A = this chain, B = another copy of it.
C-alpha cells in the first residue's frame, strides 16, 4: 500500500455561522471537522462506525489535542489530512494536519481512540478486529506537536454550571464531544479572545454524561496563559478534562 492511500484529505470552508467574533473558525467547529475527517477516513477504509456498528462495535474518542499557528478565517477554504499513527491492542493514535487556503500547514492534531463492544461496553482488541486490517494503514507522516498530556485539576471551586439540554445530546444519547468543547470555551470572557488566541487545546474524555445531567466546571490557572479544566456531572463524577494554552 502506498503512503498516499494511507492519508485521507478533506476540504472544507469556514462558514459564516462557524466563526467567532474575530471571524476565525471556532475550536469546537474545527474539532467537528477533525472528527468528521476521522470518520470519513475510517469509513473509506472499511473500519468506520457504520461498518463497526453492524458488528456491534463502535469507536470511542479518548483524547484530542490540537496545536495551531492560525485558524481559518471566514469564507476561507482549508483542508484536513488524517492518518493512523499507531495501533495498539486497546488504543489507536490518529493524527491530523490542517492546511490553509494557500497550502501552508497551519496546525496539527493528535487523537486517541478505543473501540468498544456496544453490548458489553468493554474495549475490543484492535489487533484482531476486522482481520487486524487497520494495522495496514499505519503511516508515519510528520505531526510535530506534543502528545496529549496528563491533565490534573486541583480547584474545588465551581466556576460554571449547566444542565445538559436537547442540543447537547447526540445520537447515542450522550452529551456530544463537540458540545463539551463549546461549553469549555464559554468559560472565558470575550476579553480573553480579543487579546489572545488558542495555541494548544486538549480534551480528555473520561465518562459519558446524559440529558438532564448537571455539568459543573472547575478550573486551575496552571501557568500564565495555561488553564486546566475539569467537568464533573452531578457533583462528583469526572466527565472530561481540558487544557488550553493561549498566546
Chain A residues close to B by CB (< 8 Å): 15-23, 26, 28, 32, 35-36, 39, 49-50, 74-75, 165-167, 169-173, 176-178, 182, 185-186, 188-190, 193, 211-212
Shortest Cβ gap from A46 to chain B (Å): 16
Instruction: Evaluate contact between A169 and B75: CB separation under 8 angstroms.
Output: no
Given contacts A50-B75, A165-B186, contact A171 B22 (CB under 8 A): yes
Given contacts A166-B186, A211-B21, contact A171 B28 (CB under 8 A): no
Interface centre among A16, A28, A176, A190 (most CB of B within 10 A): A16
Contacts of A190 in B (CB 8 A): 166, 169, 211-212
Nearest first, the 3 closest Cβ-Cβ pairs linking A and B are: A165-B186, A23-B171, A21-B169
Q: What is the bound-complex CA distance between A166 and B165, given in angstroms?
A: 18
- From B28, B171, B177, B185, A19 is in contact (CB under 8 Å) with B171
Instruction: Evaluate contact between A171 and B36: CB separation under 8 angstroms.
Output: no
Interface centre among A22, A36, A173 (most CB of B within 10 A): A36
Interface centre among A21, A26, A182, A190 (most CB of B within 10 A): A21
Instruction: Evaluate contact between A15 and B36: CB separation under 8 angstroms.
Output: yes
Q: What is the bound-complex CA distance between A17 and B18, given in angstroms?
A: 14
Contacts of A19 in B (CB 8 A): 170-171
Q: What is the bound-complex CA distance between A189 and B168, given in angstroms?
A: 12
